[in-house]
């Protein structure tokens, strides 16, 4: 593939840097006409003058065809990330289970299926999406602290690979339901290793004060009485300490604790056939500031901590595979000079991308055209009626005018999957780009779809 026109798409390691919607199945050519070259890809995002193309697609032309705001994903960049991780894992008996919550669009899941990637799910909705996209049940793991009995039964019914169990009550429910279905469930204990992931408090999961997993002491008791579980094969360990982790140290510490526990269990006669190391690998949201860990370094830590482990390894990356492969295209509705600050009001809002409102997350924002202009400082906001609808405060940007097309970068993970219709704004379209062509993989929601299921209170009943 390396010699092909638009491949490989290098995602910069150091991070330097109202027309009608098309039909979902419609693939449109949109080749760069003049100097098509590898420069027309994501790697060129490191320079300030090269945001006009993404995966070979001219973004101005694309925005003439698809109404903004919309999300665009580079299939090449996603394949590239999968490939990087798979190469780093070479020689290990390891499986990648994409954390579906990061981006649950069926077309993205299909890319995962085609690359042999499985799924880490947290609901029956995600299970159905994964199966629908062609990810086989035997490549699906089920995580989450609040799996309902119905969800557990549904996952047992299709024969998923493994349950990552987070409480004794869940373990007993799994045993009961597996017995009813006369099947044996394979299960891993999610260990809470009490490690600080050094990330945002709202996405830290591996401290003992967090709701996730159980302590090693509790897990030890589960294994000691595992023989009583007639329909659960408790032979796995799972750990996930948080998300957007930018240092190997928290991973190292967590895995050392898991490895020590695995050795103890083996000596006590409890074979561990699978160790799931979770997700959490961080990406670059802020050029020149965020320094993500390379896949090879991350896998190096896994190799080191579990050097003598011979069972199956599972990884649950979400953000790493898709975040930097996505952008949110949006137009400036107007520039509004305020008393103290100047506001750039976009047609995208917090309902399209919640991360800045929810976690004060930084996303690089750039104009698509590279016309030289003086720089100025804006608060970049959406039209939603609350101050929290702010993408960036005091951000330096080339002077913009109404109608200007902007890119909000690295929105491929936890963008659309967390979107809402707040302020009765329809869900935005999603477009997959691939080497100069695009396909709409979710059309913009119609008003009728948005209100489907709502009805006047006509039939009053007593419970
Ligand atoms: N495995 C488990 C059990 C998880 O809970 C998660 C994410 C992952 C894997 C994938 O983590 P990743 O590789 O994507 O870091 N909405 C937040 C992120 C929430 C992450 C929740 N769990 C955000 O936008 O930053």
Say how far apart CA 112 and CA 172 lie, in whole Å: 32
Q: Is 415 in the pocket of ligand 1 (CB under 6 A)?
A: no
Pick from 202, 200, 207: which is nearest to 241 by CA?
Answer: 207
Nearest CA to ligand 1 atom 7: 243
Name which of 97, 160, 107 is nearest 132 in CA terms: 107
**CB contact at 8 A, 239 and 254:** yes
pLDDT in tens, 280-338: 999 999 999 999 999 999 999 999 999 999 999 999 999 999 999 999 999 999 999 98
The domains located in the chain, with CATH, are 22-74+324-446 (2.40.37.10), 75-322 (3.20.20.10)
Structure tokens that stand for 281 in this block: 């690998």
- pLDDT for 279 beyond 90: yes
Q: What is the CA radius of gyration of the chain?
A: 23
Question: How far apart, in whole angstroms, are the C-alpha atoms of residue 258 and residue 301?
Answer: 13
Q: What is the pLDDT of residues 211-221, one digit of tens each?
A: 889 999 999 99
Q: How confident is the model at residue 207 (pLDDT cuts 50, 70, 90)?
A: confident
Residue 172 has pLDDT above 80, yes or no: yes
Percent of all residues in the chain with a pLDDT value above 70, rounded to a whole number: 89
Phi/psi at 197 (5° precision): -80, -5
Sign of the Cα pseudo-torsion (430, 434, 438, 441, in order): negative
Which of these, 210, 185, 180, lies nearest to 195 by C-alpha position?
Answer: 210
Give the nearest ligand 1 atom to 143 CA: 3
CA 192 to ligand 1 centroid distance, Å = 15
Q: Tell me the pLDDT band of 129, cut-offs 50, 70 and 90.
A: very high
Q: What is the pLDDT of residue 29?
A: 54
**Torsion angle (degrees, nearest 10) of CA 131, 427, 58, 441:** 20
Active-site choice (97, 284, 385, 400): 385
The pLDDT tens digits of the residues spanning 21-41 come to 444 444 555 544 333 333 333
- Is 99's C-beta closer than 6 angstroms to any atom of ligand 1? yes
What global pTM score does this model have? 0.91
Q: Is the CB of 51 under 6 A from ligand 1?
A: no
* 437 CB-near residues (< 8 Å, 6+ apart): 27, 28, 29, 30, 31, 56, 57
Q: How far is the CA of 317 from the centre of ligand 1 (A)?
A: 8
Ligand 1 within 6 A of CB of 355: yes
Q: In testing the pocket of ligand 1, which one of 279, 283, 417 has its CB within 8 Å of the most ligand atoms? A: 279
Cα–ligand 1 centroid distance for 213 (angstroms): 14
**Cα–Cα dist 397/377, whole Å:** 6
Residue 356 beta carbon below 6 angstroms from any ligand 1 atom: no
How does residue 418 score in pLDDT terms, banded at 50, 70 and 90?
A: very high
Nearest to 56 by CA among 396, 414, 449, 438: 438
| Ligand 1 neighbour 242 (Cβ under 6 A) | no
Q: List, for residues 42-92, the tens digit of each pLDDT value.
A: 443 333 346 899 999 999 999 999 999 999 999 999 999 999 999 999 999
Beta bridge partners of 54: 57
Secondary structure element (H or E) that encloses residue 80, with its range: helix 75-88
The answer to whether 284 is a known catalytic residue is: no
Overall average pLDDT of the 124-136 stretch: 98
Check: CB of residue 188 under 8 Å from CB of residue 238: yes
pLDDT of 32 reads 42
364: closest CA among 47, 77, 67? 47
What's the whole-number average pLDDT of the chain? 90
pLDDT at residue 5 tops 80: no
CB–CB of 381/389 below 8 Å? yes
Is the model's pLDDT at 405 over the cut of 60?
yes
SS3 (DSSP) at 402: coil
CA of 318 to the centre of ligand 1 (A): 6
Q: How many angstroms does the Cα of residue 146 sit away from the middle of ligand 1?
A: 16
pLDDT of 28 reads 56
What confidence tier does 371 reach under pLDDT thresholds 50, 70, 90? confident
From residue 210, alpha-carbon distances to 101, 145, 242, 350 in Å are 19, 11, 10, 27
φ/ψ (deg, to 5) at 140: -115, 130
Question: Residue 373: is its pLDDT beyond 60?
Answer: yes
């Amino acid at each position: 593939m390396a010699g092909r026109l638009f491949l490989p798409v290098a995602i910069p390691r150091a991070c330097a840097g109202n027309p009608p919607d098309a039909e979902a199945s419609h693939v449109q050519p949109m080749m760069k006409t003049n100097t098509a070259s590898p420069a027309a890809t994501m790697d060129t995002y490191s320079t300030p003058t090269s945001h006009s193309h993404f995966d070979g697609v001219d973004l101005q032309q694309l925005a003439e065809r698809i109404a903004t705001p919309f999300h665009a994903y580079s299939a090449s960049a996603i394949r590239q990330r999968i490939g990087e991780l798979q190469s780093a894992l070479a020689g290990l008996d390891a499986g990648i289970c994409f954390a579906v919550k990061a981006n649950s669009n069926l077309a993205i899941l299909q890319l995962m299926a085609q690359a042999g990637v499985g799924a880490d799910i947290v609901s029956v909705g995600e299970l159905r999406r994964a199966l629908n996209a062609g990810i086989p049940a035997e490549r699906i793991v089920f995580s989450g602290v609040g799996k309902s009995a119905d969800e557990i039964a549904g996952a047992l019914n299709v024969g998923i690979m493994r349950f990552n169990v987070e409480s004794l009550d869940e373990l007993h429910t799994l045993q009961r339901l597996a017995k009813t279905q006369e099947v044996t469930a394979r299960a891993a204990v999610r260990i809470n290793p009490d490690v600080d992931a050094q990330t945002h408090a709202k996405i830290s999961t591996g401290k003992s004060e967090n709701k996730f997993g159980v302590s090693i002491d509790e897990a030890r008791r589960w294994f000691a009485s595992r023989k009583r579980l007639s329909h659960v094969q408790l032979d796995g360990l799972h750990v996930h300490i948080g998300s957007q982790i930018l240092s190997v140290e928290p991973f190292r510490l967590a895995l050392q604790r898991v490895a020590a526990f695995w050795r103890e269990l083996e000596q006590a006669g409890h074979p561990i056939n699978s160790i799931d190391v979770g997700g959490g690998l961080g990406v670059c949201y802020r050029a020149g500031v965020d320094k993500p860990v390379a896949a090879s370094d991350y896998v190096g830590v896994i190799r080191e901590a579990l050097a003598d482990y011979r069972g199956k390894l599972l990884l649950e990356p979400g953000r790493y595979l898709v975040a930097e492969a996505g952008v949110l295209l949006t137009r400036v509705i107007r520039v509004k000079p305020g008393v103290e600050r100047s506001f750039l009001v976009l047609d995208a809002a917090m309902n399209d991308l919640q991360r800045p409102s929810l976690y004060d997350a930084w996303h690089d924002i750039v104009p698509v055209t590279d016309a030289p202009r003086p720089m100025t400082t804006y608060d970049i906001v959406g039209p939603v009626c609350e101050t929290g609808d702010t993408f960036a405060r005091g951000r330096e940007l080339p002077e913009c005018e109404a109608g200007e097309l902007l890119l909000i970068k690295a929105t491929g993970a936890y963008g659309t999957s967390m979107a809402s219709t707040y302020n009765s704004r329809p869900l935005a379209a999603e477009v997959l780009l691939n080497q100069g062509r695009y396909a709409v993989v979710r059309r913009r929601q119609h008003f009728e779809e948005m209100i489907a299921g709502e009805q006047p209170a006509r039939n009053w009943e007593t419970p």
